[in-house]
Amino acid sequence: MSDFLPSTAPVDGPAPGAAGSPALLNREQAILEFNRRVLAQARRDDVPLLERLRYVTIVSSNLDEFFEVRFADTLEAARAAPGDASRTDLAAVASRAHALIDEQYAVFNDEVMPALARHGIEVINHEDRNDAQRQWVAGFFEREVRPLLIPVGLDPAHPFPQVANKSLNFIVRLGGRDAFGRESQIAIVKVPRVLPRVIRLPDHVCRAGQQGFVLLSSVIRAHLQELFPGREVESFSQFRVTRDSDLEVDEDDVTNLRQALRTGLTTRHFGLAIRLEVVSSCPEQLWRFLLEQFGLPEAALYRVNGPVNLVRLNQLIDQADDLAGDAALRFAPHEPAWPEGRLPRHRSFFETLREQDVLLHHPFESFEPVVEFLRQAVHDPDVLAIRQTVYRTGEKSVLMDLLIEAARRGKEVMVVVELKARFDEEANINWAERLEAVGAQVVYGIVGLKTHAKLLLVTRRETNPRGVTHLRRYVHLSTGNYNPKTARLYTDIGYLTSDPGIAADADGVFQQIASLTRVKPPRHLLTAPFVLHRRLVKHVAQVTEAARAGRAARIVVKCNALTEPAMIHALIEAGRAGAQVDLVVRGACMLPPGIAGQTDHIRVRSVIGRFLEHSRILYFRWGDADDEEALYLSSADWMGRNMFRRIELAWPVRDPKLRQRVIDECLVPYLYDGRDAWLLQPDGRYVPAQGGASAQQALMKRFAPPLPGGEAAQ
């Protein structure tokens, strides 16, 4: 039995099988609540200032995707079933989105930017620029900007132009007559994406100690009149439209999914309009004109007090210096540790993995061992075959380069490339084409199912002590993507093993994806959409029965989202039976905890810290015996799409030491985090936890290299 700290919840609870079931929380509102928690990071005095600004930009990026995908789906559902309930839900979500965006700009304008200004980092508006700065900006506009701008005056021969998703534009109302003597009043200025949105002013035009920046929108605004000689600019506004960006491809009606997706990428930027952003000073006549052009209701209008795209303030963060005087403006550098004691650099990984499994806890431990595992496989002449799934790996990837090299060396390389990884489609298509060009076998998963599992399988020819040659397989499984960049920013678990049972199951997964035929059901891996949902619900039921029988009954789940109704109701039933249930859910959670007589044995917390919590860990106990406990790591969140519309994996951690390590590092610290954790209330609100350390900071300290004096670095 694993050593698990006891729950702090009361032991008394409702009678088993209590009547009724609480209403689930709204998913879209839960997503907005998550972004409110992210925004709260921008208000923390203990977070460095540039990192506080980064959290503001993260909220903008998250909200862009929310409107492009989630809200677009909600809007479509309301249109398909236009009843009172759907309209009410839509209005409630839109109202909360407006409130969150207003709060975001208030934090940006009233807290973060004034604090940065006090440290000499300033975004300088036109009216606040000195003569030298205005002269420099004028030169920059003339050299770098104006040659790329072509205003479009609107008339019957010049209809409203195509405006790309999330692009920066200006709408201008003009006085006077045009060059042909007509009173065309409206013009649109589309701003090319190739132009930087944030420009750092040279030091010689700034005061001592000042880092001055100007926004491209401010540069254009200051010189807008110059684009319309002979006309008077009477009013204007920046604007940006957000469009439905989900790629719609009928997979049953295409012969080449890759080509269909590449074609779809060319039109993604011009999907159905969902949201219109203008600056708060935009005249009513102009925003009403824009709403009409995009076919949007007034509720879709967002009048913001600042730039219409805060995401681009990332460019300021990238250009700013690390220090302002003695103040550190960024998080201290974190260098992930190499697990030297468990995976010696000087020794072959294959030798080590024949003796023991190795667990890697990213980003506290380095992702480089995963890269090195593949590198050794590529360069080892005894390795015959490499198979890997790819979901998100980035435009530049050392792992993909290694797979290409393996194919060039004549190894059998099979790569399952998920072409429909949202917003990574183009990068994945490009990698697929490069792999095919060197002879690798590339498949795109199963029609209608995204391949979200993270799996790498290496087959090696070996000779045993008796001189008999055989094939042995080595496996890497992960809760996160094969992306070295995000592996430094996301918490994930990687697992290296040569366990024959897991390796055989992994081989079966690849066989099924490639051949589309039935294979022997896996004995150790839980796979979606086949058995994962059913097995997890069964485990919850085992815990429920144990609670009713008065035996030890415990569930701890760490995941990114909990929205699948059947699993939620199974958890509620376990709590009603008296099982202690702790859920660490970073994002959307639809289970309302703490309802008297219903869910008062269930606690839900969300941890928002320096790193993005991404690992999925599932712990079940349904008695006191060692075989009445299970712990899984998984690629899947507890959502309907992960359970029924994706290829997903969960795998058991059977080694007692590794299982205890997962509990000690990945579960217990988060259950007692009182610094970065938020507690979900029955009504869907979150309140900050109080009185405890930060789990992430404790783990950074645990894995930090020792200082010369023998103590761990802080």
The residues annotated with a catalytic role in the active site are 452
Category of 181 on φ-ψ map: left (φ > 0), alpha (ψ -120 to 50) or beta: left
- Is 490 annotated to bind ligand? yes
- Is 44 annotated to bind ligand? no
Distance (Å, whole) CA 694 – CA 696: 5
What values do phi and psi take at 76, rounded to 5?
-65, -40
What values do phi and psi take at 587, rounded to 5?
-105, -125
Distance (Å, whole) CA 496 – CA 319: 39
Q: Is 360 in contact with 493 (CB distance < 8 Å)? A: yes
Distance (Å, whole) CA 14 – CA 548: 11
Question: How, if at all, do strands 186-190 and 152-153 pair?
Answer: antiparallel
Specify the 3-state DSSP secondary structure of 494.
Answer: strand
Per DSSP, the chain holds a count of helices (H) and strands (E) of: 21, 29
Three-state secondary structure string covering 349-403: HHHHHHHCCEEEEECCECCHHHHHHHHHHHHCCCEEEEEEEECCCCCCCHHHHHH
- Is 535 annotated to bind ligand? no
- Is 422 annotated to bind ligand? yes
Distance (Å, whole) CA 680 – CA 581: 14
Tokens of 139: 């030169």
Specify the 3-state DSSP secondary structure of 247.
Answer: coil
Distance (Å, whole) CA 362 – CA 491: 5
Q: Is 369 in contact with 357 (CB distance < 8 Å)? A: no
User: How many beta carbons lie within 10 A of that of residue 422, not counting itself?
Assistant: 14
Category of 306 on φ-ψ map: left (φ > 0), alpha (ψ -120 to 50) or beta: left
Q: Is 624 in contact with 345 (CB distance < 8 Å)? A: no
* Residue 530: closest CA among 509, 556, 514: 509
Distance (Å, whole) CA 181 – CA 361: 70
Single-letter residue type at 649? L
Q: Is 135 in contact with 126 (CB distance < 8 Å)? A: no
- Is 330 annotated to bind ligand? no
Determine whether 524 is exposed, middle or buried from the number of CB atoms within 10 Å of its CB (0-12, 13-18, 19+): middle
CA atoms within 13 A on the CB side of 459: 15
- Is 614 annotated to bind ligand? yes
Question: How, if at all, do strands 450-451 and 646-652 pair?
Answer: parallel
Q: What are the C-alpha distances in Å from 615 to residues 124, 546, 680?
A: 41, 27, 20
User: How many beta carbons lie within 10 A of that of residue 383, not counting itself?
Assistant: 21
Single-letter residue type at 322? D
Q: Is 34 in contact with 587 (CB distance < 8 Å)? A: yes
Q: Is 567 in contact with 538 (CB distance < 8 Å)? A: no
Distance (Å, whole) CA 680 – CA 599: 12
Distance (Å, whole) CA 281 – CA 287: 10
Q: Which residues contact 414 (CB under 8 A, 6 or more apart)?
A: 385, 386, 387, 388, 440, 441, 442, 443, 510, 514
Binding-site residues for Mg(2+), please?
A: 392, 422
Binding-site residues, please?
A: 62, 392, 422, 490, 586, 614
